[in-house]
Each structure stands twice: as C-alpha cells, then as structure tokens.
Amino acid sequence: MIMRILGEGQYEIAEEHLARLNELDSALQSAADAGDETAFAAALSALLDGVRTLGTPLPDETITPSELVLPDADTSLTQVRDLLSDEGLIPG
C-alpha cells in the first residue's frame, strides 16, 4: 500500500504492518472522538512516526498514486475530524 503524508512524501507499507498502523489509527480516532487535544496530538504524531518507521520512503521522482493520504503533523483536531470515517484514517 502506498501512503502519503501531506507535505512530506510517499511511503510503501507492507501488508504485515497495517495491523500496527490500524492500532495507532484507533488511538487517533478515540482522541478525536473525545476532543482531547493533547491525546490527539500525541496519537497523530505516533501514527505518522509509525508510517515513517514501518514504511519505505519512495523517491521524490517516483510518481505513484497514493492509496491513502494522511494529514501532516500540524493538522488540527477539527480538520482531522472532517477526514475521519467510521474506520478512522486507515480503512481496515
């Protein structure tokens, strides 16, 4: 799966890492649902760090459609709430 972090770049995520990223996404969803800004910021940071750590960065010159686009670290709770579905940011 190809994931993009806005303003940063694309990462190729192997199938075996999706469960861990979904756990991080669930924590983000819970923090957003609770309106807890501190927990939200920590959860968003953890999710993005997870993508960076578990994923393989694609070269900037590689043009590949992203299957999933994640907000950058500076995105507000309100903005992320608008992006969230019942499954969070990462379906599955």
User: Could you read off the pLDDT of 43-68 as tens digits, one per residue?
Assistant: 999 999 999 999 999 998 888 899 98
Q: Would you state the pLDDT for residue 43?
A: 95
For the whole prediction, is pTM greater than 0.85?
Answer: yes
Q: Would you state the pLDDT for residue 40?
A: 92
Q: Is there a contact between 90 and 20 (Cβ–Cβ < 8 Å)?
A: no
Task: Mark the ranges of the chain whose per-residue pLDDT is less than 50.
Answer: none
Residue 29's CB: how many other CB atoms inside 10 A?
A: 21
CA distance 52 to 73: 12
Q: Across the chain, where does the E strand assignment appear? A: 2-5, 9-12, 56-57, 68-70
